[in-house]
Structure 1
Amino acid sequence: MSRLFIVVDQSKDWAPYYPSEDVLTFDQYLEMSVPASRRVRVINLCQSAKYLSRGYYCSLLAEARGHHVVPSVMTLNDLSRKGLFSLQLDSLDDSVTQWLTSAGSEIAPASDDRQATHELRVRTFFGQVEQPALKQVARLLFERFPCPILEVVFRRRKGKGWQIESMKPASPADLSDHEQDLFATALDRFSSMVWRKPRGRQRYRYDLAVLVNPDEEMPPSDQEALRRFEKAGKKLGINVEQITRKDFLRLPEYDGLFIRETTAIDHHTYRFARKAEAEGLVVIDDPVSILRCTNKVFLADLLRTNKVPTPKTLILSRDQKKAVEQVVQEIGFPVVIKIPDGAFSRGVTKAEDEASLRAGLKALFKQSALVLAQEYLYTDYDWRIGVLGGRAIYACKYMMVKGHWQIYQHGESSSESGDFETLPTYEVPRNVIQAALNATKLIGNGLYGVDIKQSGNRVAVIEVNDNPSIDAGIEDRFLGGELYTLIMQEFLARMEQNREK
C-alpha cells in the first residue's frame, strides 16, 4: 500500500484546510525515515521553489529517498527556464484565444486594443482551472509540468498572438479564499484518483498498467485479448490494470507500462512512454521504439543504411521540383506513395500512371513535408512476424482485401480487412524470420510486428510496427494463451531485474 505525504513549510500554512495526518512540515519530512520497500508519494507545497530553497530541497530529498514527488526536481528546473515553456498557442482551440482576447480587452483601452500589450495571470490547481476555456491548456501544462499550483502569465504583445510569458509554482499561502476552495477541491480529486490504491492489488508482486483508448476504432488489441493479458498476468503474480490518457499522473503507482493504443510522436502515447521510462518503469512500447517506428522516413533510411532488404524507396520533398520525374525514372509504375506516419493502411495510395502520381503527391504533401515513394510488390499476402526481446514469437499471413491491393480497405463509414492465417514460426521461411530479426535489432528489444513481402526468393521488409496488433483469435490462433503468457513473462523478467538494481 502506498503512503501519501503533503509537505508544507510550517503547520500554519495548512490552517485554512482540514487537519490531516498526511500533512508534514518540511522539518518533519527531513527527519522522517520510511522503509525503502514502501511506496511513498509526496506533494510538495513549500512556499519557495527556487534553487536551494526548502521547496527545492523537498523535491530533491524525495527523489533521493525513492519517493515519487510532485513537482519533481526536473519540473522545478524546467520552470526556471523560460525557453522550455514559452509556447505559441496558435494550435490550440479558438475558444482559448477568444477568451484571452475578451478578458484582456477588459484591462486595456478599447481605442488601442490592437496595439496594447495584454497580460493575464491565471492559477491552475493540479491541472484544473476555473475558466472553462482554459481547461485544455491547464491539463496540457500539468501533463508537461506537473505542479500542484501553477501561476501562468499569458501575454499578447503588439502585433503578435498570445503566448505563455512565464510560469512558476505557487503555494497555498498565496491563495485567496476563493482560490483556497478551488485548491482543496482539486487536491481531493487528485489524491483520490492518484494515490489511493484498491485493496485487491496488495496480493500481487507487480502492477502493470495497460494504456488503452476505449473509443479507438482499430485498437492494437480487442477487449478479449486485453482480458487474456490480465489472466496471464495474474497467474504470474502481476496485477494488470487498464488505464486511459486521464491517468497520466498515476504512472508512478506501477512497475510497468504496456501501451495497447496506436502510438504517435505528437501524441499522449509518446508522453506516457517518456514519463514511464523516467519513473523507472518497464515500458513496451518504449519511447525510442515509438520514435524509430512511427515515422516511415526514419525507418526507410535506417533499413537502407543497414542493408536490410526493402522495396526500392525514394524520400520526396514537397519543394522538390522533379519529384514525379525521379519516381518515373527510378521506380516506375505502379508505385506506392505514403505519408511518414500513417497506420493501418491510412495515408497510403497506389499510382498507376503519371497523372495519378501527381494527384496523389499533391494530396499527401498537404499532410506532410516529406512523402515516401516505394516500389510496388504484388503479393497475395503480407507476412507479419511478431518479435519480442529479439526472438520471433508468432507469425501471420495477412491476406489482401478481395479486389483490393491492401490488407485494409477504408470506406467512408467502415473499414474492411482481409483474411488471415496464423502459423508456427518454425514453418515460416528462414529468410523471412531472419529479415524480421535483422530489422528489429536496429530498433530495440521491445515488442514489434514486422511486415514483410515475399516474392519467390526475394524478401522485402515493408515496415516495423512498434505497437503490433494482438487480437483474440488472430495472432494467438496457434499459440492460444501461451502468446499472452510469453509477453507477461517478459514483463516479469524485466520488472524483477529492475527491482534487483
Structure 2
Amino acid sequence: MSRLLIVVDRAKDWAPYYPSEDVLTFDQYLQFSAPPSSRVRVINLCQSARYLSKGYYCSLLAEARGHHVVPSVMTLNDLGRKGLFSLELEELDESVINWLEASGSAIDPASDERAATHEVRIRTYFGQAEHPDLKPVARALFERFPCPILEVVFKRRKQWQIESMKPAAPADLGEQEQDVFAAALDRFSSMVWRKPRTRRRYRYDLAVLVNPDEEMPPSDKVALKRFEKAGRKLGINVEQITRRDYMRLPEYDGLFIRETTAIDHHTYRFARKAAAEGMVVIDDPVSILKCTNKVFLADLLKNNKVPTPKTLILSKDQKNAVEQVISELGFPVVIKIPDGAFSRGVTKAEDEKTLRAGLKDLFKQSALVLAQEYLYTDYDWRIGVLGGRAIYACKYMMVKGHWQIYQHGESESESGGFETMPTYEVPRNVIQAALNATKLIGNGLYGVDIKQSGNRVAVIEVNDNPSIDAGVEDRFLGGELYTLIMQEFLSRMEENRRR
C-alpha cells in the first residue's frame, strides 16, 4: 500500500486549494503512523525550514520513519550553506541571461561602488517556473536541491550568479503564484506516485532509465521489452522512466540504466541518488566514475598488470607530446579523448602531420588525451560480464574499409557486422583478461572490449553500460540473457530486503 502526504503548518495554509485527506498539519503528522510495509512519500510545505523549526523536524521525522520526503534534511542543510550553490550555475543559457537582464531591477547602492549591481528574485515550483525562459534553470535547481517551493535570488555584478536560495511555503504566495504552484503540485504528485494496483502483482519494482531520443542507445526497443518480459516472469515490475522522473526513484527497489552514461550528466545523478536511497543500481556510480574516463581506466589497468596496448597520457601543456608519441609508439597511432563513446573522439594518425592536427583538435575538448599503439585486428571481442562472470561474447567486426567498428558520418553512423557465440568457445585468455579487468571496477554489468593478435590479448576499455540489442548480444542465449540480468537484480533486491 502506498500513500502521498502533504504536510503544512496549519489547516488554513491549505485554504486556497482543494480540500484533500492527504493534507495533514504538522501536529497531525506527529501522530501519524503507517503499516511497516507501506510506502509513504511526504511533501513538506511547512513555512519555516530553519534548523529545529517545524519544517526541519517534519523532514527529520519523515526520514526517521522511513518516509521519502521532499525536501530532505540534507537539502535543507545544503540550502543553508551558500558555498554549495553560489557557483552551481556557472553557465546560464542565453535565454535565461536575457530574461534576467530584462527583469533586473537596479539596487540603490547609495555610496557603494557597485552601482551596476542588479537583483532578480524568482520562485520555482517543483522544478517549474512561471516564465518559459526560466524552466531549464528551475529544473536544474530542482534536481540538485529538491524543494517544493524555492525562492531564488540572482545578482549581477560582473556576471549573473545565485546570491541566495531558501524554501518557501504556500502561505507566502500571492493569488497568481497559487495557481502556478497548484498546477505544479498536481503534475508532480501525479508523476511521482503511480496507481497502486501495478504493485499488487509483483514483489519488486525496477526502474529502467532510457532516453527515447538517443541516437545510439545501449538497448533498442525490442530488447527493452524483453527485459520487461523477463523481469515480470520473476515477479519484478519493470517500468521505463526518463530523466524527468528523477524524483520518482524512491518508489522503486532497483534502477537499471539503459542510457549512455557520463559523469557530468543526469545518468550519474540518477545512479548516485539510487545508491543513496539504498536501491540496487546498475550501473552504480562508482562503476560509471571508473569506466567513463579512459585516463583513469588506462592507469588502473596498467598499475594492476591487466594487458593493454601501450598507452601514453598526454597533457595539453606538454611541449614534447608529439615527439614522445613518435619515439615510443610510432605510426600509425590512435589518439582519443578520455570520455568518448561509440568510437567518437577517437582518431588514427598515420604521420606527424595528422598527429599534430589530431592532438590540436582533441586538446580543445580535454586537458588530457590518450595516445595508444595501434593494433590491427579484423574484429574486437566484446565480453559481457555480470557479477564477476562472463555471460555473453561477441565479435564486433570493423566497418568495411574502416579501422573501427563504428564509422560516424555527417548524417548517419555505420557499424560493422558481428558474430555472437557461447562464452565457452572464446579463448580462455580473452575471458580471463575480461574478468581481471572488471574485478578492478566492481560487480555490475560490463562490456569489455579486447583485441587479440595471435597469443597477445589487450584490453581496450571496460564499458559500464554495454550494448544489449535484440538479435545481436542475445543471438546465442536469446531470452535467457535477459533472464540472467533480471535474476541478478532479483537476488540483490532480495538481499536488500533481508537486511
TM-score range, shorter chain: over 0.9
Q: Tell me the alpha carbon deviations over residues 222-251 of structure 1, each in whole angstroms, 9 at most, x when there is no partner.
A: 111001000000100001111111111111
1:9 corresponding residue in structure 2: 9
Shift of 1:107: 6.3
- Alignment match of 1:233 (pick from 231, 234, 259): 231
User: Could you tell me which residue of structure 2 aligns to residue 119 of structure 1?
Assistant: 119
4+ residue runs of structure 1 moved beyond 6 angstroms?
A: 106-109
**1:200 shift after superposition:** 3.0
CA distance in 2, matches of 1:434, 1:452: 11
Question: Structure 1 residue 317 and structure 2 residue 315: aligned?
Answer: yes
Q: What is the rounded CA distance, in whole Å, between the counterparts of 1:305 and 1:165 in structure 2?
A: 45
For 1:354, the aligned partner's letter is: E
Deviation at 1:385, TM superposition (A): 0.3
**Structure 2 equivalent of residue 137 of structure 1:** 137
- Partners in 2 of 1:459 and 1:117 — Cα distance? 62
> Which residue, 246, 249, 266 being the options, matches 1:248?
246
C-alpha deviations, 1:20-72, integer Å up to 9, x for none? 10011111111121111000000001111111111111111111111100001
AA aligned to 2:33 is S
Aligned residue among 181, 184, 201 for 1:183: 181
1:77-135 deviation line (CA, Å, top 9, x unaligned): 111111111026452210111111111156679xx999421111111111111121111
- The Cα offsets for residues 149-203 of structure 1, whole Å up to 9 and x where unpaired, read as 100010112xx10000110111111111221111111111111111233633321
Matches within 5 A, 1:249-288: 249-288=247-286
* Contact 1:339-1:371 at 8 Å conserved across structures: yes
**Cα-to-partner distance string for 1:399-418 (whole Å, 9 max, x where unaligned):** 11111100011111111111
DSSP-derived class of the 1:261 partner: coil
In the TM superposition, 1:77-476 aligns within 5 A as 77-87=77-87, 89-105=89-105, 115-157=115-157, 160-197=158-195, 199-476=197-474
Whether the 8 Å contact between 2:382 and 2:393 is mirrored in structure 1 is yes
What secondary structure does 1:258 align onto? strand
One-letter identity of the residue aligned with 2:118: H
Q: Distance in 2 between matches of 1:307 and 1:57?
A: 52
| SS of alignment partner, residue 19 of structure 1 | coil
The whole-number CA distance in structure 2 between the counterparts of 1:212 and 1:113 is 51
TM-score for both structures, normalised by structure 1? 0.97
Which stretch of the first structure deviates more once superposed, 277-286 or 483-492?
277-286
* Counterpart Cα distance in 2 of 1:347 and 1:473: 27
> For the Cα contact (< 8 Å) 1:90–1:161, is it kept in 2?
no
Identity of aligned residues (%): 86
Q: Is the 8 A contact 2:106 2:119 kept in 1?
A: no
- Quickly say closer, same or farther: Cα 1:410–1:137, change in 2 above 3 A: same
CA contact (8 A) 1:209 1:254 kept: yes
Distance, in Å, in 2 between the alignment partners of 1:81 and 1:263 is 30
SS of equivalent residue, structure 2 residue 200: helix
Tell me by how many angstroms 1:146 deviates: 0.5
Q: Does the Cα contact within 8 Å between 1:7 and 1:43 map onto a contact in 2? A: yes
Letter in 2 for 1:336: V
For residues 5-44 of structure 1, the aligned pairs below 5 Å read 5-44=5-44
User: Bigger shift: 10-19 or 428-437?
Assistant: 10-19
SS at match of 2:104: helix
Alpha-carbon deviation of 1:280? 1.5
One-letter code aligned to 2:426: V
- Of residues 87-96 and 47-56 in structure 1, the stretch that sits farther from structure 2 once superposed is 87-96
In 2, are the aligned partners of 1:127 and 1:141 still within 8 Å (CA)? yes
SS in 1 for 2:396: strand
Q: Does 1:494 align with 2:486?
A: no
Give the residue type in structure 2 aligned to 1:41: R
Match of 1:373, SS state, is strand
Q: Secondary structure at the match of 2:458?
A: strand
Change (3 A) 1:428 1:318: same
- Within 1, Cα distance between the matches of 2:10 and 2:209? 39
User: Do 1:318 and 1:365's aligned partners in 2 also have CA atoms closer than 8 Å?
Assistant: yes
- TM-score when scaled to structure 2? 0.97
Root-mean-square deviation (Å): 1.5
CA deviation profile, 1:381-402 (whole Å, cap 9, x unmatched) = 1000000000000000111111
Checking the alignment, whether the CA contact within 8 Å between 1:2 and 1:196 is kept in structure 2 is: no
Q: Tell me, what secondary structure is at the counterpart of 2:482?
A: helix
Do the aligned partners of 2:2 and 2:196 also contact (CA within 8 Å) in 1? Answer: no
Q: Which runs of 5+ in 1 are unaligned?
A: none
CA contact (8 A) 1:88 1:162 kept: no
1: CA distance, partners of 2:116 / 2:172: 29
Aligned residue identity for 1:65: R
1:59 aligns with 2:59: yes
Q: Is the contact made by 2:108 and 2:115 (CA closer than 8 Å) also made in structure 1?
A: no
8 Å CA contact 1:108, 1:116 repeated in 2:
no
Secondary structure, counterpart of 2:382 in structure 1: strand
Q: Structure 2: how far apart are the matches of 1:197 and 1:92?
A: 37
Letter in 2 for 1:333: F
Distance 2:464 2:364 in 1: 26
Cα deviations by residue, 1:430-472 (Å, 9 ceiling, x for unpaired): 1111110110011011000000001111110000000000001
CA distance in 2 between partners of 1:398 and 1:178 (Å):
58
Distance 1:81 1:302 in 2: 36
Q: Which runs of 5+ in 2 are unaligned?
A: none
- Contact between 1:105 and 1:113, CA under 8 Å: does it hold in 2? no
Residue aligned with 1:262, SS: coil
CA contact (8 A) 1:324 1:354 kept: yes
